[in-house]
Amino acid sequence: MRATELVRLALSRLGSSRLRAALTMLGVIIGVASVVSLVAVGQGATSGITKQLQGLGTNLLTVNPGATTTGFTRGAAGSANTLTIEDAQAIAALDGVAAVEPEISTSQFVVAGTENTTTSIIGTTSGYTTVRNFDVWQGATLNQAAVDARLHEAVLGATTADDLGLTASSIGSTITIGGLPFRVVGILQAKGSTGPVSQDDQILVPYTTVQDEFVPGDKLRTIGISVASAGQIDTVKAEITTLLETRHDIAIGGTDDFTIADQAQLLTTVGGVSDLLTLLLAGIASISLLVGGIGIMNIMLVSVRERTREIGIRKAVGARGRDILAQFLVEALVLSVLGGIFGIILGVAVSYLIGSLAGWGFVFSPVTPLVAVLFSLLVGVVFGVWPARQAARLDPIVALRYE
Amino acid sequence: MSGALIELHDVSRIYDLGHVQVAALQGVDLEVEEGEFLAIVGPSGSGKSTMMNILGCLDRPTGGTYSLAGTPIAELDDDGLARLRSRTIGFVFQSYNLLPRTSALENVATPLLYQGVSRKDRLARAQVALERLGLGDRISHIPTELSGGQQQRVAIARALVTEPALLLADEPTGNLDSASGAEVMTLLTQLNAAGRTIVMITHDAEVASRARRQVHVRDGRLVA
Ligand SMILES: Nc1ncnc2c1ncn2[C@@H]1O[C@H](COP(=O)(O)OP(=O)(O)OP(=O)(O)O)[C@@H](O)[C@H]1O
Ligand SMILES: [Mg+2]
């Protein structure tokens, strides 16, 4: 028998007992919907976290001073301040390094007109916005000339500008940082929050100026490096290690006085964890799909029983065992696939809702519904085949005599 | 192919119940030519339905040989039997055996489904068969919306829609009042007059007398 005939037969049968069909499908609908929405939630959370991490900078490496050993006591990272601007310049000259920015930081009281705030002041260079992945909203970022001339110029984070009541028209106005006048040359585009510390609440000024006014000496707190491509991260990391060990006279096998943190490593770790979480959610949701499948099997077994006489009649008028098998199997498949389709619609709606409530937006991967449909097809076959075989094997004489 | 449509030779059907063996049929020899109208008559429990099941290829004899339209049944597997049923036999049952919740038209079209006839042709042929039995205005009725006589006529339309060589009827009037029963018997007589081979099973001598030939079954054996 052709597939269209079988589907027509199944649909007309299901149409004649709609409530039962709907209730049977409900199991599959709930199962598929929970698989689809929980996977979407997992993927949404993953991509949300990944996006936030990537927001910190693309292919970012950060070098921090640290890990000196005094006697047998290993100092906390940062306890020995050994990084200098020359280190940063030497790193900038390495192959595969796209941009470098040195950082010195301090916290200062800032006043603009009648508004004031206390925020962190980052002494850096024009490289900062590139490495840390910031866009300029108004005005310009720091430039090399300002760094060289040790100018009192400031670029404000979006939140800081907001706190100080500064807008687009405030470019060129003067604010005071730690009691000293600075000219506002730019305001950065807001990034949104990344964890407890907002990247939007800070002021960038030339590092030379910070050294002059707030943090005497030539030591850096951090060097941020943007690697040209993700594939080069490991090589560049090794190059920096060799370079800094040479520059800091650290013997082979000795303890480094700096540490290099790798954004990609963090991303992989976090990605791995949340993938596992997604898998776990999908696994839990599959259990409800399994229960839905058992519901189908149950109904199909009841149906074979109820329709024993029908099976006998069909066999008497020429149906072969395989025709009966196909009829009942297709009925189970139609139930499970229709349930699957409704389940996907419901699941997508639910994940859209959760996505917009949680704020990571709606992540729709076409693979999930595809897998869900295939899975519900499988459920239909697995749980439909046994009842269908029972139907196909009925002896027509016994079936015809069945009351 | 020898002449007869049905050839039973020394056919027996023994039910093995473990502790006892019940011989529902024993040593049955029977030939039915094309165009005959045969009544198989016998009291309850004599083996009539067993005979019908074997003639209809729903069951196999445990002994002897049965050839239908020149095909020895023993050589066919279950699918082969189904195909033979589909092409050669039309059944009419005492209890009509229409598909429930299914229109007269769909009921009559069902045998054609298993012959692989397209839906359009199926419905057209079912319509013709129903009209021939005077049910042209009842095609969309489901069985519970039809009288017993009408249901039996739908069943006859279903049996005829494939133009089978053999029409097998098991107590076709058993559930009908005398008027509807007479109507069905007239119908069968007309069909036979038009050339259809009919084998009818009944315990009713009057009904049997409408057939052109009668054989009597008693305790699983053909008598006289
Ligand atoms: N499945 C079976 N198992 C065992 N014995 C059976 C079976 N089917 C029929 N028989 C026996 O075979 C004999 C003939 O039964 P059958 O049904 O052919 O009678 P029948 O002539 O059709 O009777 P009725 O007119 O009451 O329908 C009976 O003795 C019955 O008990
Ligand atoms: Mg009987």
Give B1-10 pLDDT, tens digit per residue: 457 999 999 9
Q: Would the pLDDT of A194 be above 60?
A: no
Q: Do A223 and A287 sit in the same domain of this protein? A: no
What kind of fold does domain B4-98+152-223 have according to CATH? Rossmann fold (3.40.50)
Q: Which of A187-191, A216-220, B27-31 holds the top average pLDDT?
A: B27-31
Whether A108 and A224 share a structural domain? yes
**pTM passes above 0.95:** no
> Which pLDDT belongs to residue B2?
56
Rounded distance between C-alpha atoms, residue A67 and residue A111, angstroms: 37
pLDDT at B15: 93
Q: Is residue A65 part of a domain?
A: no
pLDDT of residue A70: 45
- What is the chain A residue with the closest CA to B103? A12
pLDDT of residue A68: 46
In this prediction, residue A80 carries a pLDDT of 55
Burial of A247 (0-12, 13-18, 19+ CB in 10 A): middle
* Whole-number Å distance between alpha carbons of A81 and A68: 10
> Which of the four pLDDT bands, split at 50, 70 and 90, describes residue A197?
low
Distance (Å) of CA B18 to CA B14, B32, B53, B61, B64: 12, 34, 22, 18, 22
Interchain proximity B58–A1, CB inside 8 Å: no
Model confidence pLDDT, tens digit, residues A200-210: 899 999 999 99
Kind of pairing between the strands at A115-124 and A97-112: antiparallel
What amino acid occupies position A327? Q
Q: Mean pLDDT over all residues of chain A?
A: 86
CA distance B210 to B41: 12
Q: Determine the Cα–Cα distance for residues A237 and A95; give it in Å rounded to an integer.
A: 11
Overall residue count recorded for chain A in this entry: 403
Averaged pLDDT, B75-101: 93
Residue A401 pLDDT > 80: yes
Among B61, B40, B31, CA closest to B170: B40
CB pairs under 8 A between A and B: 62
CA distance A47 to A62: 23
Evaluate whether residue A78 is within a structural domain. no
Are residues A167 and A195 part of one domain? Answer: yes
Tell whether A63 is covered by a domain: no
d(CA B22, CA B83): 29
The verdict on A234 and A308 lying in the same domain is no
Asked if residue A75 is part of any domain, the answer here is no
The beta-carbon contacts of A243-250 under 8 Å, at least 24 apart in sequence, are A243/A90, A243/A91, A243/A94, A244/A63, A244/A87, A244/A91, A247/A86, A247/A87, A247/A90, A248/A82
Domain residues for the domain of A177 are: 83-256
ipTM strictly over 0.90? yes
Name every chain B residue with its beta carbon within 8 A of the beta carbon of A2: 116
Residue A79: the pLDDT is 46
Q: Do A318 and B100 touch (CB under 8 A)?
A: no
Instruction: Give the percent of chain B with pLDDT over 70.
Output: 99
SS3 for chain B is CCCCCEEEEEEEEEEECCCCEEEEEEEEEEEECCCCEEEEECCCCCCHHHHHHHHCCCCCCCEEEEEECCEEHHHCCHHHHHHHHHHHEEEECCCCCCCCCCCHHHHHHHHHHCCCCCHHHHHHHHHHHHHHCCCCCCCCCCHHHCCHHHHHHHHHHHHHCCCCCEEEEECCCCCCCHHHHHHHHHHHHHHHHCCCEEEEEECCHHHHCCCCEEEEEECCEEEC
Average pLDDT, integer, range A305-328: 94
> A369, A348 in Cβ contact below 8 A?
yes
Domain boundaries, given as residue ranges, for chain B? 4-98+152-223
- Structural domains of chain A, count: 2
Position A120, amino acid: S
β strands within A46-114, DSSP E = 60-65, 69-70, 73-74, 97-112
CB-based contacts of A155, cutoff 8 Å, min separation 6: A136, A139, A140, A141, A142, A184, A185, A186, A187, A188, A203, A204, A205
Domain end, chosen from A210, A226, A256, is at: A256
Q: Is B96 on the interface with A (CB under 8 A)?
A: no
In sequence order, the 6+-apart residues with CB closer than 8 A to the CB of B181 are B173, B207
Strand ranges inside A113-201, DSSP E? 115-124, 136-139, 153-156, 174-177, 180-188
Stretch A301-310: mean pLDDT, rounded?
93
Asked whether residue A88 falls in the same domain as residue A210, the answer is: yes
Residue A66 lies in a domain: no
Tell me the percentage of chain B whose pLDDT exceeds 90: 86
Residue A96 falls within a domain, yes or no?
A: yes
Q: Which of A256, A281, A315 is the last residue of a domain?
A: A256
Q: Is residue A107 assigned to a domain?
A: yes
Contact indicator for A240, A260 with CB cutoff of 8 Å: yes
pLDDT band at A67 (very low <50, low <70, confident <90, very high): low
Number of helices followed by number of strands (H, E) in chain A: 13, 12
How much of chain A is in helix, strand and coil states, percent to nearest 5?
55, 20, 25
Say if residue A252 is in the same domain as residue A275. no
Query: Residue A6: is it exposed, middle or buried by C-beta count within 10 angstroms (0-12/13-18/19+)?
Result: buried
Residues of chain A with C-beta less than 8 angstroms from the C-beta of B87? 318
Q: Which residue of A has its CA nearest to B167?
A: A317
Domain check: are A242 and A357 in the same one? Answer: no
3-state secondary structure of A89: helix
Q: Average of pLDDT values for A74-103?
A: 80
Mutation target vs B (from A6, A9, A18, A317; most B CBs, 10 A cutoff):
A317
Name the residue facing B113 among A5, A322, A396 (closest C-beta).
A5
Q: Which tokens hold the place of A35?
A: 């698989």
At B220, list the tokens: 């699983």
The answer to whether the CB atoms of B99 and A310 lie below 8 A apart is yes
pLDDT tens by residue, A15-66: 888 999 999 999 989 988 988 888 888 888 777 777 777 777 768 888 988 7
pLDDT of residue A258: 87
- CA A290, chain centre distance (Å): 29
**In this structure, are A248 and A298 located in the same domain?**
no
Range scoring the smallest mean pLDDT among A58-72, B65-79, B117-131: A58-72
| Domain-embedded: residue A21 | yes
If asked whether residues A239 and A279 sit together in one domain, one would say no
Mean pLDDT of B63-75: 94
Ligand 1: list residues with CB < 6 Å: B 15, 17, 22, 24, 42, 44-50, 203
- Which of B4, B214, B53 minimizes the C-alpha distance to A401? B53
Give the model confidence (pLDDT) of A245-282 as tens digits. 888 888 777 788 888 888 777 777 777 888 888 888 88
Show the beta-strand stretches assigned E in A19-77: 60-65, 69-70, 73-74
- Residue B9: CB atoms within 10 A of its CB come to 14
Residue A292 to residues A203, A336, A375, Cα–Cα distance (Å): 58, 9, 12
Pocket test for ligand 1, best of B11, B15, B17 (most atoms within 8 A of CB): B15
Indicate whether A227 and A149 sit together in one domain.
Answer: yes
Closest CA to B144 of B136, B133, B134, B154: B154
**In the prediction, which pLDDT does B1 show?**
47
